[in-house]
Each structure stands twice: as structure tokens, then as C-alpha cells.
Chain A
Amino acid sequence: MTLPIFPEEASKIAEQTDNLYWGLLCASAAVCLLVFTLMGYFLLKYRNGKNVDRKPVHLPEMKIEVTWTLASLLIFMCFYAWGAKNYFLIERPPPGAMEIDVVGKQWMWKIQHPEGNREIDQLHVPLGRLVKLTMTSQDVIHSFFLPEFRIKQDVVPGRYTTEWFQADKIGSFHIFCSEYCGTSHSRMVGNIVVMSPADYQTWLTQGQPGNTLAQSGERLFRELGCSGCHVGKSVVRAPPLEGLFGKPVPLNNQEVVTADEAYLRDSILFPAKQIVGGYTNDMPSFSGKISEEELLQVIAYLKSLGSQTPVREQ
């Protein structure tokens, strides 16, 4: 239902949110009706000048108060649970989603597809595919807001935030930045274009193919000298990277962390933060030497390694 007061529903989440919106609207209308008619009735009946029985009558005050306190508490808890259910749906990216990287920069969105395609303020996605956005910001906090999908997630510098959606309607919808980020905050908009899978394939190939994210990550892996230490029988002892992504990593302070994107990013930018068990802190920090997009490419490469040893330096 696309009443003018509703944005288009372009995903399952949108329908869930609209159902919750209707539920909340009906409950509020009921409460408003109750309070305003009661007030209106009392105002008309007991206005000054009308001689009406005003003898104080004993009302079971405690009983009345307890009933409407518990009643409102009960209704509120129902909406709390409904809201929490929707929140779970929004916050948990289902497995097997297509990974797209988004980098927020002051007043533009830079988007990288795993196939290597790059776009500014535009996001082309196939219909029906689960898409998971891994987002970070180069400067201030932005927020990737898709009103037609009813989802929003702040893009915080220094950290990866994720957002996922599944478009089930073809068309072009809004992308807004909804966290104030400076002068042209209102021009940091774009649109997300949902295409049929066939059109999406043709769009992918027409876009300058170049090399995929993982391949440009591989090139960076060599250029920045990572392969110097991390590959084979190199002279400096550095932890092996084969099949690292997603596995638990024992640190030298007896903690165990899972190697997710955040761990990989922090190990590259702040190596001394979490040193792998049995190794010393002699990896140089790359913060300032590698941009956010390149970092995402290197991480895409490390993720694509699986159990295969990284390429040797040519």
C-alpha cells in the first residue's frame, strides 16, 4: 500500500516496519481517542454555569491507578518485543550475502563492488540478492539511510559497520546521509538502482572491469611489502595469513579473538593493539600510508585467500 504518507516498500524489512508503524498508530489513536473524548465530555458536562451533580463521590483511587498503570505497561511491553524482533531482523546480516564496500567521505559515497566496479553516489544491485554493506568513513560520522528499505546505519570512522538489505522491487530509490556531517550534508545523496539480475550482469561487464577487489588487494599486498614478511621462509618472523579470516586467533595476553574485518583492519593500522601469541611487536603501522578503499581491497584479498598461500613477491 503506497499511501502518500508512506515511502515505497522495496524490501521485506520495509513491510515489517510498516506493520509495526500501523500497530503503533492504532494503539496511539485508541489512547488519544480515550483521553480526548473523556476530557471533552468532562469539559462540556462540568463547565462552570451548568448545574450538575458535583458532589464528590468516593472512587477506588488505588484500583483505578493500578489498572491503568499495568495496562499501559503491558501494551508497552508488547511494542517493545515487536520492536526488538524487527531490530534483530535489521541488525543481523543473513549468511551468504553479496559483499559491497561503502566508504563515506565528506559529502560523497564511494562504493566498491567485489567485481572491482567503483561508483560514486550510485549503488547498482540485482533484484532479490542479499546484499551486505561493509561501511567505514574517512573523516566524520555519516549515516547510510535507505528510506525505501527502512534501514539506516551510522558510518563511523575507525570502525566497520554493516548494513544489509534485499531489494524485492525494481526501480531507483533514495540514498540519504542522515548524520550531520558538515557543509554539504544535504547534498550527500545518491540513488540505489535495483536491476533485474540479467541487466545487472551486463552493467557489471560494461563498467570498466579492471581487476576485481581481491586482485587489486593482491597488488597492494605486494607493493606495500606485506609479502616480504608474511610469506614462506622470509627472514622476519610474522604470523601466516593462510585461511586467517573468520578463524580464532590466540593473542599473547592469553585472549582469543576471531579474525573478522575489524581485527584485520586494526592489525594493519595499529599492529601493537593485538599481537598474535608467540610474536613480538615489530610490524610497522600503516595508518596514514593506506587509504580506506585500499585497506578494504587488502582485506578482500586476505578473505579470498581461503587456505591458499599468498602469492610470492615477483
Chain B
Amino acid sequence: MNATLPQSETREIPPPPQRLLTYFEEGGRTIGSWLLSTDHKRIGILYLYSILFFFTVAAIAAALMRMELVTPPGDMVSSETYNKLFTIHGTTMVWFFLIPSIPSVLGNFVVPLMIGARDLAFPRLNLLSWYLFNFGGLLAIYAIAFGGVDTGWTFYEPYSSAFSNTHVLTMVAGIFVAGFSSILTGLNFIVTIHKMRAPGLTWFKLPLFLWSLYTTSIILVMATPVLAMTLVLVAAERIWGLGIFDPKLGGDPVLFQHLFWFYSHPAVYIMILPGMGVVSELVTCFARKPIFGYHFVAFASVAIGLIGFFVWGHHMFVSSQSVYATLVFSMASYLVAVPSAIKVFNWTMTLYRGRIYLDTPMLYALGFIGLFTIGGLTGLFLAAAGFDVHVTDTYFVVAHFHYIMVGGMVTGFLGGLHYWWPKITGRLYPENLGRLAALVIFIGFNVTFFPQYVVGYLGMPRRYHSYAPEFQVFNVMSSAGASVLGVGYVLPLIYLIWSLKHGKKAPPNPWKATGLEWQTPSPPPKHNFAQTPIVTREPYQYSPEIQEELIHG
């Protein structure tokens, strides 16, 4: 590995004299070498396999629920099974797909490359994080396989500790362990971004994806421990039969809700912020134009992360919380919406006077902006205290957070996956199939979740196994859309795996992007950079005048 790369600022790398070993070959080819490798790129791919498995489990649960909800009376599965289905869908999606997906897969792979480092600050902690994630996942799958949990992903107190006789303890232990996996990932990113940036790479030359991952890591590190302790208290209550949330002792179940939502609302910002970071990268690269208002977008990410910790009470407006607290949380919820609005406006202005290539990653980015705008605006509906009283715990809320999670986070993840696929695998995915899949997902998504807004305002409560007949029309529409969405998600799985074998070989920089990660050959060698690059230019130095020729499969 002694090929001396010229001292490149951000110019094109002349092809090295002899073939560089890629990280597939250099760290060893056996399964053992992969399972014990501390290379951040390999751990990223190991995470990809894990979250793919958990996404499938949760997607099957969702499909069964949508089939059940086609008819008003609960006639396909019993109500116990239905309760277990939505709990499986909730817990598996939240803790085993949404939270780890962008930070642990794309983040693990791309962060060291973007800052010109050889690896993360603590490579062994990174591998430990993957093993903790899988051990937690194993516990969760054990709980699901041997009878499931019927408390919902929120584990609300008197029910989850005294009245549910399902495998709550095992599931709680699984999430407790998986929580430490996300703490370690967050810790790794914070120290890496602080301490291991390439010379010349100041904070305001960082790509915006790193700003959002840095903020996500702060939330990961600061919010997850409170969930860990809350779950310990729930477990203690189940083991010893009584505890501090037990109303018989004068305990207060609403205190559990405070502790739970102190973690769970910042957790939804853990899920959406990386998606925003990916979209900032995609919009600039495919509009060939520097981001509009770099500082504002960067600080908007930090602002979302910080204010996100002040808003958890808007989940509890009707849970006998004091009127004063409701006013405080309603105000904070409106304040946290402002940075999101800033980001959407900045992305839109970035398109002005750009040269827009509608490739697959750009389709996902535009889909993200559209769906996130609708999701974010309905968030404003829910922040209004008087309005939330009617719609909380109904399908209006279900539609809102699916617009943000599925329309925002999953679309952002797929966009990022397609954008960095040439760098990760060294192969190009088939472009036209990619565009088709993006369109199918967009249509299927809207048909699935928009009717839920309407049926939510009509008053259909959440987590209902059988519902009043007048809601059937909207539920049938939603179930139909869900099948289209299901097909939409299978498409990328197929052609991405196909591209591993038959995709065209990817050049180092197929999208002619300006990030540091595109200065390495794709797939990059184990130590990423021969010499640590010196960064002198501002980020996103694209110029829309020149007509670039983007290479795609």
C-alpha cells in the first residue's frame, strides 16, 4: 500500500500505478475477519445486514396490521395478536431500524472519509456497538418469537408493569442493551468529529451531513440514558411487583410518561436529523450549486437538536398534565418547528439557478422535502394545545409521524444509500429501475398515509383492532396504498443486490461531487487516505454553468 498519492487538495486523483487493495480484500476475506474487523467501513456494512433483517420483521407486522384493518370488525387476527403486532412493528422499527439506520450504516461508512481520517476515534467501541445492537436485537426477537409483547412501543406504566403478562421483561432488556449500542455510536462520532478532522478542515468547512450527525450524536448520548433508567424501573416493578409508578402506593404513572418522552421525543429527532443531512448533500450535488445559507442550515440542525429536549410534553397534553406545563411545551414545540422551516426554505432556494439532474438520489431528496414539509406542517397542528386534545392518540398522529419517519427518514436513507452505493460497493446501480422505485414508493406512501389524516380527524383512535364502520373507506384506501408501498420497497432490494454482481464498475467520483470521500478510489482501501489530505476550499464548490457528465449504471 505504498502508492504515493500526489498531495491532492481536492483535485482529481490520477489512477495509481498498480491496483490498490480495497477494504473488501485488505482486511481478510473470511467471515471471521468481517465479524472481528474494526474497520469502520466493514462495521457499516455489518449494520446494514442487521437493520435489513429487523426492517423485514417490522414490515411483515405492518402488512398483517393493514390486512386486519381492511374490515371494521377485528376478524383476521385475535385482538391479543393484533396488539402484539403493533407492538412488534413499533419497537422493532423505532429501536432496531429507524434510530441506527443512517448514523450506524451511512454514518459509520462516510464520517471518517468525509473528515480525512483513517478510522473513527474508538474502532473497538464501534465493533462492540454492533455486537450490543445484535445482542439487544436477539433478546427482542426472542421476546417476539416466544409470545410477543402487547404493551405498545410506549410501555405505558400501570399496564406494562402490573397488567401485561407477556414478555415485557425480555423486550425491555433487549432495548436496554440496544440503547448502549447507540450511546457508543454517538460517543464515537462526537470525539471523532471534534478531534480527528483533517488539517484545514474547520467546523464551517464540514459537510452538512456531519453537522447533522454531530447533533444526532449529542441527542443519542444525552437522551438514551434516561430511557435506560426508565426501563430499569419498569423491569424492577415487574420483578418485585411494586414500584415508584404504582398508583396503589401513591406513585404517579404520569412520571413514567415524563421520563419516557424525555427520551422518545429527542429520539424522533435522532431519526430525522441524519435524513436532513443526507438531503443537504444530495440537493447540492444534483443541483450543482453550493447550499443556500450554509451557516443557517448548519445551525438549524444544532437548534433542532437542542430545542428538541424542551418539547416532550406535547405527547401528554391530555394526560392530566398541568395547564401551565402544557402552555410551556406547546410554545417550545412551535419554536422547534422554526429550524425545520428554515431548512426546507434553504433547500428550495438551493435549486435556484442550479443545473438539476433528476437522478435517483435527487428524486429521493425531492420526495423527502415534499413529504417532510407535509409531515412538519401537521406537527404544527399537533403543537396547538386546543387542537391536540381532539387528535392526540388518533390516526391523525399516526399519519403525522409516518410522514416524518417513512416519508422523511426512510426516503432520506434510500437516497443516501443510492448516492454512496458506488463508493460502498464499487458498483453502479441501474438508474432507470432506481427512478421507477422512487416513484412507486412516493405514490404508494401518499395513498397509504394521507387517508389516515382524515380518518384521524374523524376520531378513529390509535391501536384499534376493530373500529366503527364509518371509518372503513379510509382504511381500505390505506391498506391498498400499503401494498403498493410494499412493492416499492422490494424493488431497491432486488436491483441493489443485482448490481453487486452485474452493475458497471464505479469510477472514484461518478457524481463529480466535491466531498473528501470522493477523493478515495471506490471502494476505498482499508486506511482510506495514503496521506491525510489538506483541505483549503469551502464545502460544495459546485458550479452550475459547466455541464457535467454524471456516470450512472
Q: Which residues of A contact B (CB under 8 A)?
A: 5-7, 16-17, 20-21, 24, 27-28, 31-32, 35-36, 38-39, 42-43, 46-48, 53-57, 59, 61, 64-65, 68-69, 72-73, 76-77, 79-80, 82-91, 106, 139-141, 143, 145, 147-148, 150-154, 156-159, 161, 174, 176-187, 189, 266, 270, 273, 287
Contacts and interface: CB of A to CB of B under 8 A. Distances in A.
Contact of B389 (A72, A150, A185): A150
A171 B370 CA distance: 41
Given A28-B377, A35-B345, A178-B392, 11 more contacts: A27-B380, A28-B374, A31-B373, A35-B373, A84-B330, A84-B386, A86-B386, A86-B387, A139-B162, A159-B320, A180-B156
A31 B335 CA distance: 17
Contact of A76 (B334, B351, B387, B464): B334
Given A76-B334, A84-B330, A65 B293 contact: yes
B254 A145 contact: no
A270 B246 CA distance: 14
A124 B352 CA distance: 61
A21 B163 contact: no
B337 interface: yes
Contacts of B468: 174, 189
A180 B274 CA distance: 31
A288 to B, nearest CB: 8
Contacts of B358: 43, 47
A151 B543 CA distance: 55
Contacts of B349: 59, 64
B93 interface: no
B158 A57 contact: no
A158 B247 contact: yes
B156 A17 contact: no
B393 A145 contact: yes
A42 B354 contact: yes
A143 B318 contact: yes
8 contacts: A5-B458, A7-B457, A42-B351, A56-B353, A83-B386, A139-B158, A151-B389, A183-B79
B248 interface: yes
B203 interface: no
Contact of B461 (A5, A21, A177): A177
B115 to A, nearest CB: 26
A106 B163 contact: yes
A189 B381 CA distance: 26
A91 B330 CA distance: 15
Given A35-B348, A42-B348, A156-B253, A7 B458 contact: yes
Contacts of A174: 459, 468
A181 B154 CA distance: 12
Closest 8 pairs (CB-CB, A-B): A86-B386, A147-B459, A83-B384, A158-B247, A87-B385, A42-B351, A178-B461, A28-B377
A79 B380 contact: yes
A5 B457 contact: yes
B387 A20 contact: yes
Contacts of A64: 293, 349
Contacts of B392: 152, 178
A201 B383 CA distance: 41
Contacts of A147: 390, 458-459
Interface string B508-545: 00000000000000000000000000000000000111
B164 A182 contact: yes
